[in-house]
Structure 1
């Protein structure tokens, strides 16, 4: 479906398949708009049908123009700061970026400027867009690859729900120490904080559910390491790093979790991000090329995974 931005307004033509919904059904039940946001839409008259205030409980009619005021200017929430970033996908609702190593996804302090969120804010500002960037998920400071941001509160809420329902698929490449005997498998072990270390996490029976699926892509007997592909059902902090350390195969370069220091950081890259666009229903698949092509990932073609 085609959507259009006109000033502060989002516009979409009601398709035939939505005619079983009332406007209230569509936003509350199908799009799962948060209650507070839906109340704001109604009270502040931010939703129109063909330019007129709607009957929220009347069935929608195919061909009618739905208009929602989504793009009202707002504070960026972070300090816009220039960084050389690679955008993998962008439209009026969201964008996907290729995060470099050595950069946090978002600030931990209000004065932080060396984060992907700061870079996104600068990109929006430079293009005359006054919207707050909202990260949908995070990557560790030294993990590289695809990260998804929403530009509006509604897009953020819908993408957050999709992430919770596992409708956003994230594929990672990692190199672990040693040779894995199983060609594929699932690690289902809860992860919690390590009370002896302020940053590290650990497998803990009282932790949060954490599920990692993996597949062996290549074993290197000479280097005694294994290239693996991972998919996550959950997104716990340091999940891949913790899980593989726990089974005796820490990531190469991951000194925090027992890996060797032959590489300057953990060998982990978010190679691909896939999801169905919440508004257009277009399937989006983003490949994140290696920014600096680290030697440890040599001869790997991102588009192959």
Structure 2
């Protein structure tokens, strides 16, 4: 099946390159990916298994088989998985609030990964869960999962580029003084056992672009686009400015349980180049029910 293989046609300008050099320099594949596929005999030239020092000729057809036997120690669980986009390389899902993404000591089951393993098995796909992006348990919204080693490598590589955009919607306390701008403040982890982060000059560069989408009585609905991806970046930046998220028990300044039971943060938009074609994929999902209800409560108060 063509969707399970990468097919490359060698051009005249690529003649005399060694196969290893071509795959790394031209196709931007990682050394680990190339080595594993070569050892398993999953790289062929003109239908024949090829060694990595093979010297390429014009019009050679290089085939890179993406399918390999692999398993993951995650128990499949039947659950509703809200699939927003899917093809042979990636799947993008809309995670509900209160769901852990991957099993931990505290959460062995009921995670998104448990549901995805079941989903893959039901479809007869031998995929493991390769997370490209993550969300906190109480943050809802879009998450990308790679369905093979190649797409995971390509997306991880591209995440640091300007072509990869992650945008969120948040409901914050107070009306921001500026309706649009950039927060460029370093974020620091005080100690290895600290969950909480803070703005501190000793921290890593952290950049968040913001735009107020709607104003309410003493609160705003804010769009936030990440230029960097530090842990709790949006929550730390907004709290530092005096506008913590509604429901944020870690960084918030007041008890919002009457309004919402988790931080009002939703990953609503993704834009990224497809790992195989390079064409941009743009996806959006609307606000979840609890944030819609939060806005209604704010407007009624």
Shorter-chain-normalised TM-score: which range?
Answer: 0.7 to 0.9
TM-score by length of 1: 0.85
What is the number of residues matched between the two proteins?
A: 290
The 1-side partners of 2:64 and 2:140 are apart by 35
Match of 1:302 in 2: none
Deviation at 1:213, TM superposition (A): 0.7
Q: Call closer, same or farther: CA 1:51–1:141 in 2, change over 3 Å.
A: same
Unaligned 5+ residue runs, structure 2? 297-301
Describe the SS at the equivalent of 2:272.
strand
2:86 to 76, 85, 90: 90
**2:50 is the counterpart of 1:48:** no
CA RMSD, 1 decimal: 2.7
The 1-side partners of 2:38 and 2:192 are apart by 49
Q: Call closer, same or farther: CA 1:242–1:70 in 2, change over 3 Å.
A: same
The 2-side partners of 1:184 and 1:68 are apart by 46
The 2-side partners of 1:17 and 1:172 are apart by 45
Q: Call closer, same or farther: CA 1:95–1:247 in 2, change over 3 Å.
A: same
Match of 1:4 in 2: 2
Deviation per CA, 1:105-151: give whole Å up to 9, x if none: 21223961121122111111111112211101111111111000111
Q: Work out whether residues 177 and 259 of structure 1, in 8 Å CA contact, stay in contact via their aligned partners in 2.
A: no
Q: Work out whether residues 15 and 58 of structure 2, in 8 Å CA contact, stay in contact via their aligned partners in 1.
A: no
2:274 to 272, 277, 296: 277
TM-score by length of 2: 0.86
**2:171 is the counterpart of 1:175:** yes
2:189 to 175, 193, 198: 193
**2:232 is the counterpart of 1:238:** yes
Match of 2:9 in 1: 14
Q: Call closer, same or farther: CA 1:110–1:195 in 2, change over 3 Å.
A: closer
**2:156 is the counterpart of 1:160:** yes
Q: Call closer, same or farther: CA 1:157–1:11 in 2, change over 3 Å.
A: closer
**2:165 is the counterpart of 1:139:** no
Q: Work out whether residues 14 and 60 of structure 1, in 8 Å CA contact, stay in contact via their aligned partners in 2.
A: no
Unaligned 5+ residue runs, structure 1? 299-305
Q: Call closer, same or farther: CA 1:21–1:216 in 2, change over 3 Å.
A: farther
Describe the SS at the equivalent of 1:256.
coil
Q: Work out whether residues 241 and 257 of structure 1, in 8 Å CA contact, stay in contact via their aligned partners in 2.
A: yes
Q: Call closer, same or farther: CA 1:111–1:200 in 2, change over 3 Å.
A: closer
Q: Work out whether residues 184 and 216 of structure 1, in 8 Å CA contact, stay in contact via their aligned partners in 2.
A: yes
Match of 2:32 in 1: 36
